[in-house]
Amino acid sequence: MESAAKVMVSTLTNPLRVGLRQERVIPPQCLVIFGASGDLTHRKLVPALFELFVQRRLPSEFAVLGCARRPWSDEEFRQKIEPSLKAAIAAEPEGWQSFSKGLFYEPVDLRKPQDLARLGKRLEQIDRLRATRHNTTFYLSVSPSHYGAGCRALAAAGLLSDPERSRVVIEKPFGTDLASAQELNRLVKTYAQERQIFRIDHYLGKETVQNIMVLRFANTIFEPIWNRNYISSVQITAAETVGVEERAGYYEGSGALRDMVQNHLTQMLAITAMEPPGRFEPETIRNEKAKVLQASRLADIESPWSACVRGQYTRGGSSNRPVTGYREEPGVDPNSTTETYVALKLFIDNWRWQGVPFYLRTGKHLPKRLSEVVLTFRDAPVHLFDAVGGASMANQLVLRIQPDEGANLRFEVKAPGSGMRSRPIEMDFSYDESFGEPSDEGYVRLLADAMLGDPTLFTRNDEVEAAWRLYTPVLDVLEDAPWQLPVHPYEAGTWGPAASDTLLARDDLLWRRP
Ligand code: BG6
C-alpha cells in the first residue's frame, strides 16, 4: 500500500481549541452517584466531572453527592477520590481545590427506606448550600440486580416525582436477555417516565461514533452510495488487548456477547445502518436506530451456530511477558465455557441493506486495541487496468473509532511509470491532526448530556429490547444446546479462532487485519 495521502480539515475559523468547540451550558444541579465507592466512580465518573469542570462547563451551582454503604464522611470521600485524579490535579491544583468543595458523601443503602429519607434531607441541605435548584441526576452505578429496586426506592422517597427536575442514569448491562430487559423496562417505567431514564452506552459518547452520523448526513458524497447497490459487506470490530482483569465475577456470567456485542457493537451497527432522520432531534434519531435494529437478524436464524463463532483465549504472550489463559484467571471456573471472543454474521431486511452481510467481532487479548467500522464497496464491473501485485482491491471506507480516531478511504490510482497499471492508496483523516486535540472520553460527553437532559446518545427502551431480540437465537442455543456453539480456544495475542476466519471465508471474504 502506498503511504497515505493526508487530508487536513480546514479549521476556517479560529484554530484554537476554544474556537473549535461548541459547548452547551449545564444547568445548576446535584449529581448523585450510587456506587460511589466503586471502580467506575473513581476511574471514569469523577475524572469526567473534573474534566467538565476544567473545561468550565459546570455551573458554580453544582454538587456531586457520592452514596454507598460505607460510612465515609465528605472529607474521606474527597480523599478516596484524589488518587484516581492525580495527573489531572497536578495540572489544575487550584481547580481541584474549588471542585472538591462541591463533593459530598452520604452513606445510603438503597434497600433501606430510612436511608432514602435521610438522602432526601441531605439533598435539601446541599440545595440550600450550592443553589442546585432541586435539579437532581441520579446515577445508578450499582449491581444491575439493583436497578429496578433502586428506581423503586427513589420513587418511594418522592425523589423522582418531578420529571422536569429529576433523572436516572442506568449503566449497562440493561438485562441479560430479552425477557429480563422487558421486565426491567416495565419495572422502571412504573416509577419514572421514559424521558427521565438515561440508559448509558459509553460507545455512543465517543466522538468518532457520533461522527458516523455527521459523515453520513452532512455530506452529499456518501449517502447516495451508502446502500446495497454500492456496498458489498460491512465489518464492525471492537478488539481489545486486555483480558478479563479483575472482573471475572461479572464476566463469567456475561461473556463477550452480552458484555460488548448486544450494546456497543450493536449501537455502532445501528448508527452505521440507520436511515437519515428527518430532523436532528433525540426521538427522530432514536426512532431510526430502533427501526434498523428491528429489521436486523442473525444471518441464519434456523441454525444460529452457522452465523456465530465463540472463542476463549488460552495462554500466550512471550517468555518475558507471558499471558494467562482465561480459565487460569483468578475467579474463573477452570472449565469455563464463557466466550471472550465472538464473531457474528447479520443481515438487515430492509430496502437499503437487503443481502449485505454485516460481520461483527469482538475479543479480549487480541493483537491490537482497535474499534472500527469497515465498509467494502462492490468491485468495479469491468477491470480495464492490471493491478500492481495482482487483483485490484475494492474501495473501502474505514471509520476508525479508536485509537487513532479518524477515517480513511481506499481507492485505486495509476501506478507511476509508462504503463497503465493501478494500485491502491489511502486518503486519511485524523482527528488529532485536524483538530489538534484528542477527543473527550465518552463519559465526559454522556454525563454532560444526561445533566442537560439530552437523551440523543442514550438508548431508548425499544432499542434495548430490539438489540436483545437480535441475539435471542444465539442465547437460546446457549441455553438449550450449548454444544452447538462451543468455545474455540485461541492463543492470547492472536486474532481469534480459525473458525471465525471460516465464517468469512465461506463468503470469499477476509477479516481486515490492520
Ligand atoms: C465495557 C466492557 O463496557 O467496555 C469491558 O464491560 C470493555 O469489558 C470496555 O473492556 C471497552 O471499552 P473501550 O472504551 O475501552 O473500548
| Ligand 1 atom at shortest distance from the alpha carbon of 251 | 8
| Ligand 1 atom at shortest distance from the alpha carbon of 371 | 16
Residues 154, 52, single domain; the answer is yes
Query: In the 3-class helix/strand/coil scheme, how is 258-302 assigned residue by residue?
Result: HHHHHHHHHHHHHHHHCCCCCCCCHHHHHHHHHHHHHCEEECCCC
- Tens of pLDDT, residues 242-280: 999 989 999 999 999 999 999 999 999 999 999 999 999
**What is the b/e burial string over 350-389, where b = at least 16 CB atoms within 10 angstroms of the residue's CB?**
bebbeebbbbbbbbbbbeeebbbbbbbbeeeeeeeeeeee
pLDDT of residue 303 exceeding 80, the answer is yes
Residue pair 9/434 in contact (Cβ under 8 Å)? The answer is yes
pLDDT of residue 22: 61
Residue pair 261/340 in contact (Cβ under 8 Å)? The answer is no
pLDDT of residue 6: 45
Within a domain: 499: yes
- Tens of pLDDT, residues 436-451: 877 788 999 999 999 9
Within a domain: 355: yes
Cell of 48: 469526567
Burial group, residue 140, by CB count within 10 angstroms (0-12, 13-18, 19+): buried
Query: In whole angstroms, how far apart are CA 436 and each of 12, 18, 497?
Result: 14, 11, 38
- Tens of pLDDT, residues 8-41: 333 333 333 344 556 778 999 999 999 999 989 9
Q: How far is the CA of 491 from the centre of ligand 1 (A)?
A: 21
Residues 338, 210, single domain; the answer is yes
Average pLDDT over residues 123-133: 96
Lowest mean pLDDT segment, chosen from 56-65, 383-392, 464-473: 383-392
- On average, the pLDDT of the chain sits at 92
Within a domain: 4: no
Give the closest residue (by CA) to ligand 1 atom 8. Answer: 259
pLDDT of residue 175 exceeding 90, the answer is yes
Residues 109, 225, single domain; the answer is no
SS3 assignment, position 189? helix
Per the structure, the count of domains in the chain is 2
| Binding-site residues, ligand 1, Cβ < 6 A | 238, 240, 259, 371
To which residue does cell 463468503 refer?
Answer: 507
More confident residue, 459 or 384: 459
pLDDT of residue 320: 85
Residues 409, 501, single domain; the answer is yes
More confident residue, 2 or 342: 342
Residue pair 347/301 in contact (Cβ under 8 Å)? The answer is no
Give the closest residue (by CA) to ligand 1 atom 13. Answer: 203
Q: How far is the CA of 228 from the centre of ligand 1 (A)?
A: 31
Residues 136, 259, single domain; the answer is no
| Ligand 1 atom at shortest distance from the alpha carbon of 206 | 14
Give the closest residue (by CA) to ligand 1 atom 4. Answer: 260
Query: In the 3-class helix/strand/coil scheme, how is 417-457 assigned residue by residue?
Result: CCCCEEEEEEEEEEHHHHHCCCCCCHHHHHHHHHHHCCCCC
Give the closest residue (by CA) to ligand 1 atom 6. Answer: 259
Residues 319, 465, single domain; the answer is yes
Residues 380, 494, single domain; the answer is yes
Cβ neighbours of 15 (radius 10 Å): 11
Q: How far is the CA of 374 from the centre of ligand 1 (A)?
A: 20
Q: How far is the CA of 30 from the centre of ligand 1 (A)?
A: 27
Within a domain: 194: no
> For the chain, what's the residue count?
514
- Tens of pLDDT, residues 66-102: 999 999 999 999 999 999 899 999 999 999 999 999 9
Residues 92, 215, single domain; the answer is no
Mutate to test the pocket of ligand 1, among 246, 263, 264 (most ligand atoms within 8 A of CB): 264
- What percent of the chain stands above pLDDT 70? 96
Residues 68, 209, single domain; the answer is no
Residue 151: domain span = 27-171
Lowest mean pLDDT segment, chosen from 137-141, 325-329, 379-383: 379-383
Q: How far is the CA of 403 from the centre of ligand 1 (A)?
A: 13
Mutate to test the pocket of ligand 1, among 240, 329, 400 (most ligand atoms within 8 A of CB): 240
Q: In angstroms, rounded to a whole number, what is the distance separating the alpha carbons of residues 56 and 98?
A: 12
Q: Would you place residue 514 in the very low, low, confident or very high pLDDT band (cuts 50, 70, 90)?
A: confident
CATH of the domain at 101: 3.40.50.720
Alpha helix (H) residue ranges in 192-281? 207-217, 248-251, 255-256, 266-273
- Tens of pLDDT, residues 314-342: 999 888 889 999 999 999 999 999 999 99
| Ligand 1 atom at shortest distance from the alpha carbon of 442 | 14
Residues 144, 236, single domain; the answer is no
Residue pair 133/94 in contact (Cβ under 8 Å)? The answer is no
Q: Would you place residue 4 in the very low, low, confident or very high pLDDT band (cuts 50, 70, 90)?
A: very low
Q: How far is the CA of 140 from the centre of ligand 1 (A)?
A: 18
- Tens of pLDDT, residues 150-173: 999 999 999 999 999 999 999 999
Which of 355, 161, 174 lies closest to 259, judged by CA?
174
pLDDT of residue 387: 84
Within a domain: 354: yes
Which of 37, 58, 60 lies closest to 49, judged by CA?
58
Within a domain: 224: yes
Which of 180, 194, 189 lies closest to 145, judged by CA?
180
Q: What are phi and psi of 85, to 5 degrees?
A: -115, 15
pLDDT of residue 391: 73
User: Where a domain ends, among 171, 195, 216?
Assistant: 171
pLDDT of residue 144 exceeding 70, the answer is yes
pLDDT of residue 28: 96
Residues 411, 454, single domain; the answer is yes
- Tens of pLDDT, residues 340-359: 999 999 999 999 999 999 99
- What sign for the dihedral angle of Cα 451, 453, 456, 458? positive
Within a domain: 9: no
Residue of 146, 264, 365, 488 marked active site? 264
pLDDT of residue 21: 57
CATH of the domain at 333: 3.30.360.10
Residues 291, 157, single domain; the answer is no
Q: What are phi and psi of 425, to 5 degrees?
A: -130, 170
Q: In angstroms, rounded to a whole number, what is the distance separating the alpha carbons of residues 186 and 182?
A: 6
Instruction: Name, in order, each residue with C-beta under 8 angstroms of 387's C-beta and a sequence gap of 6 or more.
Output: 393, 412, 421, 422, 423
Q: Would you place residue 404 in the very low, low, confident or very high pLDDT band (cuts 50, 70, 90)?
A: confident
| Ligand 1 atom at shortest distance from the alpha carbon of 263 | 3
Within a domain: 3: no
Residue pair 360/343 in contact (Cβ under 8 Å)? The answer is yes
User: Where a domain ends, among 147, 171, 195?
Assistant: 171
| Known catalytic residue at 42 | no
User: Where a domain ends, among 126, 155, 171?
Assistant: 171
